[in-house]
């Protein structure tokens, strides 16, 4: 038993390309030293990558093929703050908020593995609140665009009608991801605070015992949401 | 039961990294974000704009995946399984770019020129 466990654990695992071949051709599991939940989250994120890529590629297709000028996003998303007209400022603030939340999430994962219960919980809550404020700003952005600028999925006064369709589809789907992430951050924070992970109590839907890797899996999802925003910011807002 | 317990504890062998590395990457992400916002704020145009946008985008994405998502410290079996499939997207992008160029020139010819 112990010998078998030691082989799984690792000192005998080969590094590098040899290890890659050995892992993939081995019995039972290809992803060594990774909790099953973590590899499943990675596979889900890979499929999500393809979904968001489909959205961004269709956006590229409609933008490249239209003969009508594309609306200038720098001006569409400008705000006038205290008498100053600042281009794209709302989106910049949203970007910084999401980056900050990614940082707090990374810290939460780190403190989780050090079994610092309170620090992990507080950082998870901070991440959730930053995420919620991101969604709030997005609601403000959508309201401004729909009510004041008259942008609709089928047309807008500024240029190519596909602008609205691409905008609502891409940012809407991303906003949905953030909202679900915020929900799960609150759930994870509650689990951390009441000590479920310290005592390794089984979760809601499973008899498996959850430890602090739950926080890391949550973190993978949250960083992915931030990652998608990096691409949306570059391709939709800046391009 | 004992056996399962051993495996589970070992499975969870996790990585601990110094706090400094996270703080540095966090700071870097802020700097890169500020840079990409600056691209728009100072209204760089043309090839320079697109190069800078892509550069800062890939730097940010790389930092997030490598450090925050711990990809640097995963075994090659996992990182290859996750990072290689998206390469197929490049083919998809190329195909759709060719297709939309064709649509664009067809529209120019038949819609606007009144052909």
Residue B5, pLDDT above cutoff 90: no
Rounded to whole angstroms, the Cα distance separating A236 from A216 reads 30
Note whether A99 contacts B30, CB cutoff 8 Å. Answer: yes
- Shortest distance, CA A143 to any CA of chain B (angstroms): 23
Q: Do B29 and A105 touch (CB under 8 A)?
A: no
Q: For residue A118, give both structure tokens.
A: 């309170």
pLDDT of residue A3: 43
Band of residue B1 on the pLDDT scale cut at 50, 70, 90: very low
pLDDT interval class at B113 (50, 70, 90): low
pLDDT score of B14: 63
Question: Average pLDDT for residues B90-101, to the nearest whole number?
Answer: 96
Q: Residue B31, Cβ neighbours under 10 Å: how many?
A: 12
Q: Could you tell me if B69 lies within 8 Å of chain A, comparing CB atoms?
A: yes
For position A78, what pLDDT does the model report?
84
Q: Does A159 touch chain B (CB under 8 A)?
A: no
Beta-bridge partners for A209: A202
Instruction: Please report the pLDDT score of residue A2 as a whole number.
Output: 42
Measured between CA atoms, the residue of chain B closest to residue A106 is: B68
Indicate the SS3 state at residue A79.
strand
The partner residues of A112 in beta bridges, in order of sequence, read: none
Q: Cβ neighbours of residue B46 under 8 Å, at least 6 residues apart?
A: none
CB atoms closer than 10 angstroms to residue B55? 15
Whats the size of chain B, residue-wise?
115
Give the mean pLDDT of chain A.
89
* Residue A127 contacts B where some CB pair is shorter than 8 Å: no
On whether the CB atoms of residues A59 and A172 are closer than 8 A, the answer is: no
pTM of the model: 0.89
Instruction: Establish if B5 touches chain A: CB-CB under 8 angstroms.
Output: no
**pLDDT lower than 50: segments of chain A:** 1-10
**Superfamily (CATH H level) for A35-238:** Cytochrome c oxidase, subunit III, four-helix bundle (1.20.120.80)
pLDDT higher than threshold 60 for residue B4: no
Contact criterion met (CB < 8 Å) for B56 and A95: no
In chain B, where the domains are located? 2-74, 84-115
For CATH 1.20.120.80, list the domain ranges present in chain A: 35-238
pLDDT, tens only, B37-91: 999 888 888 889 999 999 999 999 999 999 999 999 999 999 999 999 999 999 9
């Amino acid at each position: 038993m112990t010998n078998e466990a030691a082989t799984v654990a690792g000192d005998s695992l080969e590094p590098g390309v040899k290890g890659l071949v050995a892992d993939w051709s081995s019995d039972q599991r290809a992803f060594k030293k990774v909790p099953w939940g973590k590899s499943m989250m990675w596979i889900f994120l890979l499929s999500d990558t393809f979904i968001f890529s489909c959205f961004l590629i269709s956006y590229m297709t409609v933008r490249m093929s239209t003969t009508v000028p594309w609306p200038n996003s720098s001006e569409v998303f400008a705000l006038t703050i205290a008498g100053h007209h600042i281009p794209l400022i709302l989106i910049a603030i949203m970007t910084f908020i999401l980056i900050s939340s990614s940082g707090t999430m990374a810290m939460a994962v780190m403190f989780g593995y050090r079994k610092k219960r309170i620090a992990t919980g507080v950082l998870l809550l901070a991440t959730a609140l930053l995420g919620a404020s991101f969604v709030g700003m997005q609601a403000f952005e959508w309201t401004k665009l729909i009510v004041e600028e008259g942008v609709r999925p089928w047309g807008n006064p500024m240029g190519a009608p596909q602008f609205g369709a691409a905008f609502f589809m891409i940012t809407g789907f991303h906003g949905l991801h953030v909202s679900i992430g915020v929900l799960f951050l609150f759930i994870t924070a509650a689990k951390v605070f009441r000590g479920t992970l310290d005592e390794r109590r089984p979760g809601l839907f499973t008899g498996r015992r959850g430890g602090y890797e739950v926080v890391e899996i949550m973190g993978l999802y949250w960083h992915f949401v931030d990652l998608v925003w990096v691409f949306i910011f570059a391709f939709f807002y800046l391009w | 039961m004992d056996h399962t317990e051993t495996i589970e504890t070992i499975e969870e062998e996790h990585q601990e990294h110094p706090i400094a590395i996270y703080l540095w990457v966090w700071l870097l992400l802020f700097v890169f974000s500020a840079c990409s916002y600056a691209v728009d704020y100072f209204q760089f145009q043309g090839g320079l704009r697109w190069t800078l946008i892509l550069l800062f985008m890939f730097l940010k994405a790389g930092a997030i995946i490598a450090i925050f998502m711990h990809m640097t410290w995963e075994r090659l079996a996992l990182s290859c399984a996750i990072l290689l499939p998206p390469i197929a997207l490049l083919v998809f992008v190329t195909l759709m770019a060719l297709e939309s160029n064709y649509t664009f020139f067809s529209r120019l010819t038949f819609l606007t020129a009144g052909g």
